[in-house]
Amino acid sequence: LKAERERGITIDIALWKFETSKYYVTIIDAPGHRDFIKNMITGTSQADCAVLIVAAGTGEFEAGISKNGQTREHALLAFTLGVKQLIVGVNKMDSTDPPYSEARFEEIKKEVSSYIKKIGYNPAAVAFVPIS
């Protein structure tokens, strides 16, 4: 969508489908931007598993995990909507100081694990994946 490219955010739901020898898979790209939370709920309500993208940048992570932050809101909505399997993608690892900081990744993993445990997820069953 032109509007998505111009604003650099996902506005509407996008679907991709494929199958493996064991599964039919539908990937739903749901918007994370606060203005489009209704679209995010629509996509998430159809999911068996969610990939929660968390920004590793200084200030970005702290804003997302803060009391009214989007990271917390999205994790809570996913659990409330019945998504029992969660993967956390720790994004922008190239923008940490130093770049690709293992200490920053572990700090984020610890904080997110603490929060998702409070809402009902088992952090030991959640994969945390560093990405850029």
* Predicted TM-score (pTM) of this structure: 0.81
- Say whether both 19 and 54 belong to one domain: no
Domain-terminating residue out of 46, 61, 79: 46
- Say whether both 1 and 25 belong to one domain: yes
Provide the pLDDT for residue 5. Answer: 52
- Say whether both 72 and 25 belong to one domain: no
pLDDT beyond 90 at 26 = no
38, 75 Cβ separation under 8 angstroms = no
The pLDDT-based confidence of 30 (bands split at 50, 70, 90) is low
- Say whether both 31 and 77 belong to one domain: no
**Mean pLDDT throughout 93-113?**
97
- Say whether both 57 and 39 belong to one domain: no
- Say whether both 33 and 68 belong to one domain: no
As for how many domains the chain has, the answer is: 2
- Say whether both 27 and 51 belong to one domain: no
**Sequence-distant (≥ 6) Cβ neighbours of residue 17 within 8 angstroms:** 24, 25, 26, 27
- Say whether both 33 and 72 belong to one domain: no
pLDDT beyond 70 at 2 = no
* CATH number for 79: 3.40.50.300
What range does the domain containing 4 cover? 1-46
pLDDT beyond 90 at 115 = yes
